[in-house]
Copies of this chain bind each other. A is one copy, B any other.
């Protein structure tokens, strides 16, 4: 039965990939529009390609170093020989997921603009199809890799008894997760620096100093800005969610062993994920729109699809658990709790960030007294918005734990339930990611419409799609952050189990009044702040160089501002690439080096505490930064829609300041913290052997 479940997982992945390919074809077949549109689109896609090529080359160095270190550890008998390769494949596929998404997005931007010239709905169709490619590529690749690795490792360790075999399998798969997280971190941080440096740089000189509109072709940073959308918001997000998805599945599978659920327990998360593919696929067919639908109706259409998928998975998961672990139906409650928690956090995020609700409207109003007050109010809003998600995650953890534990089960069974809740939350990723990924595509389409001087109506339509995308992106971020917290907890427990496997004599003292634990909590709690600081100042530094370059071009290229000269787009793209490349190193090092250093000094107790502190503060800070950023963005849009003085007013200027502060919040630091907390966990797990063998305290 259980190998049936793995085979079904494989089938699920193939369904996802085939569906994704079909959608890719349909986007590809849409007309590109005028030659000028195609030309600009090509600039953007060339820039994005060039950036990704460089980024991957840079990451390759990092991967090679870690790979070498792992090989050494394998020689020392601290790791299995599969581990280094699992690590590499994880990184490869995470990067691939981002790459496919980016290619599709750069292909779709001019096609979306062209379709939007027909109608709002045609535009939505193309953009959403492109988003679907990304969503289903991520889940398809994720499931495919997990299935293949499972069968390889199962065969390799066939000689071992079941329990030990599963331990080996899941241990290697966790390394796969570390590879995926590493790539995701670089993609999110590098891409995030690129996109926001270009965005902020273009805005500061173009909009604020020179007074030309956004996406104006005279602005030398405008292509870089559009490239940024693709490498940060698309490729970065793809790599990120690939990591979240496989991370939640792997960490749960690893807990199954400790819980004594054997192969069925390992199979369950994959099986639920595979069923989620089907549920998501069905959901996409419900996203239908009528001609002339209002924005509210469009949103409703998107939501219908997502909710139908959620309901479907809630039903099929019951069957799945009935089949695999019929005596532990409490686990079903965990899946359900995860699903519901994800939906509620998404709704809360929307409440705090959408301009159809009070908080963002009040934020827009605070622009009346200038930029300082809108900044203060935005920070305050972001901080307040953390309360709900914390409580929801808390309830989900407790419900998942106590129900999975049941009357008869123990601690380990309860913790397995927490992992399953994360899988439940991400099971509909295919469709939630699709609704999330189409936003930047619409944004880019708007850029192309602006640059090629299309009918202003087209820009209005793409703006409507983009603004709708902000809302769905908020929902998507809710899922990503919530699942990250649950996954990080599962990984933390996996670490504890792993140490127990390495050295059964090691005695943990994880009590919170143990000074080592307290200090670990402090260090972990500080990490997200350090990480956010590094990423934000990276954006600032990179943006600074773009500002200088754009000012130079405005001054030195004759007739540029009058529309007679030709700006040098490539230099800006190149500068962003180089800045991102250089500045992503420090944050990445923090995520990789700190867990090892803490481990070597404070031992496994300190590591667990550090992971806990990191997860807690990271979750709260990430929610705060994402929501504050989203709210500032939409407050600005709300003013631009004619409220509180409208475009060009003093209020609008204040709101632009808020939005600019929010840019690195929501698109660089906030989402990257998600990955940070998981990467720290997987790094700790991989280097557990080293830490157990030698630590100071």
Interface residues in chain A, defined as those with a beta carbon under 8 Å from any beta carbon in chain B: 200, 204, 208, 366, 369-373, 375-377, 379-384, 386-387, 390-391, 393-394, 397-398, 401-402, 411, 414-415, 418, 485, 489, 492-493, 496, 508, 510-513, 515-519, 521-526, 529-530, 532-534, 536-537, 539-540, 543-544, 547, 608-609, 612-613, 616-617, 619-620, 624, 656-657, 660-661, 664, 697
Contact = CB atoms under 8 A, between A and B. Distances in A.
B518 A391 contact: no
A132 B476 CA distance: 56
Contact of A536 (B376, B512, B515): B376
A204 B370 CA distance: 8
B371 A371 contact: yes
Contacts of A380: 532-534, 536-537, 540
Contact of A661 (B375, B511, B517, B525): B375
B657 A526 contact: no
A617 B525 contact: yes
Contacts of A390: 522-523, 525-526
Contacts of A510: 510-513
Given A369-B547, A371-B657, A511-B512, 9 more contacts: A371-B372, A377-B537, A387-B530, A390-B522, A414-B515, A510-B511, A518-B612, A522-B619, A525-B617
Contacts of A393: 522
Nearest to A624: B529
B515 A398 contact: yes
5 nearest A-B residue pairs (beta carbon)? A372-B660, A383-B533, A525-B616, A394-B519, A384-B533
A661 B376 contact: yes
Contacts of A370: 204, 208, 657
A627 to B, nearest CB: 11
A666 B543 CA distance: 28
Contacts of A616: 521-522, 524-525, 613, 616-617
Nearest to A612: B512
A517 B517 CA distance: 13
Given A369-B204, A383-B532, A387-B526, A540 B612 contact: no
B489 A518 contact: yes
A510 B612 CA distance: 13
Contacts of A383: 529-530, 532-533, 536
Contacts of A660: 372-373, 376
Contact of A522 (B369, B394, B402, B529): B394
Nearest to A196: B376
Given A204-B370, A512-B608, A523-B394, A375 B375 contact: yes
A391 B533 contact: no
A398 B620 contact: no
A551 B523 CA distance: 47
The interface centre, meaning the residue of A390, A493, A516 with most chain B CB atoms within 10 A of its CB, is: A390
A539 B540 CA distance: 28
Contacts of A386: 526, 529-530
Contacts of A518: 397, 489, 612
A627 B376 CA distance: 16
Nearest to A515: B401
The interface centre, meaning the residue of A373, A375, A382, A383 with most chain B CB atoms within 10 A of its CB, is: A383
A320 B204 CA distance: 62
A512 B369 CA distance: 46
The interface centre, meaning the residue of A401, A508, A511, A697 with most chain B CB atoms within 10 A of its CB, is: A511
Contact of A415 (B366, B515, B619, B624): B515
B530 A376 contact: no
A605 to B, nearest CB: 9
The interface centre, meaning the residue of A208, A377, A608 with most chain B CB atoms within 10 A of its CB, is: A377
A337 to B, nearest CB: 12
